Amino acid sequence: MTEATATTSASSTWNIDPAHSSADFKVKHMMISNVRGKFTGISGVLHRFEADHTKSGLEVSIDVSTVNTQDDKRDGHLKSADFFDAEKFPTMTFKSTHIEKKGDGFAVTGDLTIHGVTKPVVLNVEEVSEPAKDPWGNTRIGLSANAKINRKDFGLGWNATLEAGGVLVGEEVSITLDVEFIKAA
């Protein structure tokens, strides 16, 4: 067996199931409470190396127009040029550059692009399920991951100063990903 054949047979491709995946976020509002939201338009692929998961690769794309904070006015503002500028930058992307084992999970370093700005980010993958067959014969795995970013690092700088001091929207954004993958045939 050639080296190329061995590498190919040791890897598998897994596609994100958008119907069972979400990217949730929370950010401080008025420095007193959290506003939570989610994106549901997630697509992407995991190239999984069975013998050594640290050699795997992950690419994810999120449709910015799917943002949902349960408030239409706020969602419209988030899609505007003040924040995501969805018309000009319709997607956010993440492409892994390095994966390392971390306890029971993994630290997945990659390039996150939001609003046309690319910065390195580490996703802390806490749970990766064992492969399981669904009722339709597909093999699935799931994972949960989290990260924190500063929205201003990505050009999302809109804010308003509060009369009592402080700002309307916090800079730190907590992200939680729950993603389900289907093994490609």
Query: Is residue 154 assigned to a domain?
Result: yes
Q: Which residues pair with 127 in a beta bridge?
A: 144
Torsion angle, CA of 66/72/78/82, rounded to 10 degrees?
140
- DSSP secondary structure, 68-112, as one string: B-S-HHHHHHHHSTTTT-TTT--EEEEEEEEEEEETTEEEEEEEE
Query: Is residue 1 assigned to a domain?
Result: no
**pLDDT computed for residue 33 by the predictor:** 67
Give me the CATH number covering residue 21.
2.40.128.110
For 157-183, what is each residue's pLDDT tens digit? 545 454 555 445 556 678 899 999 999
Range of the domain at 176: 11-183
Q: Where are the beta strands (DSSP E) in the chain?
A: 11-16, 22-29, 33-39, 42-49, 57-63, 91-102, 105-114, 117-128, 132-133, 139-150, 169-183
Query: Is residue 4 assigned to a domain?
Result: no
**pLDDT computed for residue 74 by the predictor:** 79
**pLDDT computed for residue 132 by the predictor:** 93
Which residues make Cβ contacts (< 8 Å) with residue 137, sequence separation at least 6?
A: none
- Count how many domains the chain has: 1
Query: Is residue 135 assigned to a domain?
Result: yes
Phi, psi of 25 (to 5 degrees): -140, 160
Tokens (6 digits) for 62: 């999120």
For 136-161, what is each residue's pLDDT tens digit? 999 999 999 999 988 777 776 545 45
Apex 158 CA angle, 119 and 166, nearest 5: 105
pLDDT-flagged residues of the chain (< 50): 1-8, 158, 160, 162, 166-167
Question: How long a stretch of residues is the chain?
Answer: 185
Query: Is residue 69 assigned to a domain?
Result: yes
Query: Is residue 2 assigned to a domain?
Result: no
Query: Is residue 84 assigned to a domain?
Result: yes
Query: Is residue 6 assigned to a domain?
Result: no
**pLDDT computed for residue 122 by the predictor:** 94
**pLDDT computed for residue 103 by the predictor:** 87
Whole-angstrom distance, CA of residue 58 vs CA of residue 61: 10
